[in-house]
Amino acid sequence: MPALPLDEAGKYVAGAYIVFLTLILIYVDIMAAKLQRIERELGELAEIAEQKRSGEQSESEAEEKAPSHV
Amino acid sequence: MYSKGLRTLSIATVVTTVAALSLVAFYAPLDADQGFIQKIFYLHVPLAIVALIGFVVGGIYGILHLRTGRREFDARSYVAIHLSVIFGVAVLVTGSIWAKASWGHWWVWDEPTLVSFLIVFLMYATYYPFRYAIEDPERQARYASVFAITAGAFVPLNFMAVRLAQSLVHPRVFAATTGGLPNSMLLTFLVSLLAMALIWTTLVKFELTAKSASGKLSRLRRALDPDDEMPSPAPSIAPRLS
């Protein structure tokens, strides 16, 4: 086949590069969704850790305030 | 630590990719035979080479997994194959576009290079249902490694078989005896190949880092709240990194 003229060949070349770019962008989008999930879970764990710490603090304060019977 | 050096690698990938695209657009001369359409070569061929090498890398990690028993190598093998399958999709689509523009057909069944790549791609497409079919994570990892090694060994054999089959249709641009590429095209091709290899490596590292972070989060959750009844994880084909 003879070489395609530039205006026609340009569409094919652009199409090929756009396909690759689209695949990469879809992959990056999936990775971003994973990252969001990890961030959300990390937030939940930080809350659990803070609740535990405040619970332990209030327990130790209560022990200090309690009168000793010795 | 999968994220070690990820920032430097990402910057190198972006710089090399921009350099490759600039060379393709402004430096590489137009092919005397195919004209502008030959610019797909700088995308399609590096994609194919990196995808095939990625399959072999998956096999090498499979060997390491079977030798050491470390789940980390199974994860690396899985991610290498996973990324190579995605690159394989891009190879088939860009190849079809090039074929349509050059030969007037989207696909040519009597061309060994095309058909052999399709066979390799379809073989690796069965990797996912194969993993999914095995529930026990240990067995899944072991069998997947055997698959990765066997299929990985098939890739270079397949490549050699295709090179031996003397085709008149698919161009042989790296033939040692018949000239090959001019220097400007060769430089552009090599930079494109490097860029593609860096993109693959960066994405592999990102995926492994995400998997590692996910595994560490699960450990942290168990450590913080051991009484909490965690829902049992859904059966997964992706290996879990703890």
B101-151 pLDDT, tens digit each? 988 899 988 888 888 999 999 999 999 999 888 888 899 999 999 999 999
Yes or no: say if B58 and B81 are a contact pair by the CB < 8 Å rule: yes
Cα separation, B220 vs B225, whole angstroms: 8
| Three-class secondary structure of residue B92 per DSSP | helix
* Residue of A13, A25, A50 to mutate when probing chain B, most B C-beta within 10 A: A13
Residue B94, pLDDT above cutoff 80: yes
pLDDT value for A8: 80
What is the maximum alpha-carbon separation in chain B? Answer: 71
Task: Please choose, from the candidates B145, B154, B14, B130, the residue with its C-alpha nearest in 3D space to the C-alpha of residue B74.
Answer: B145
Return the top range by mean pLDDT from A54-58, B34-38, B200-204, B208-212: B200-204
Cα separation, B28 vs B190, whole angstroms: 12
Lowest-pLDDT choice from B6-10, B180-184, B237-241: B237-241
pLDDT value for B178: 55
Task: Residue window 20-59, chain A: list those with CB within 8 Å of chain B.
Answer: 20, 23-24, 27, 31, 34-35, 38, 41-42, 45, 48-49, 52
Question: pLDDT tens, B52-81?
Answer: 999 999 999 999 999 998 989 999 999 999
Coarse DSSP helix, strand, coil percentages of chain A, rounded to the nearest 5 percent: 85, 0, 15
Q: If you average pLDDT over residues B170-192, what whole number do you get?
A: 76
Q: If you average pLDDT over residues B189-207, what whole number do you get?
A: 95
pLDDT value for B103: 87
Residues in A closer than 8 angstroms to B104, CB to CB, are 1
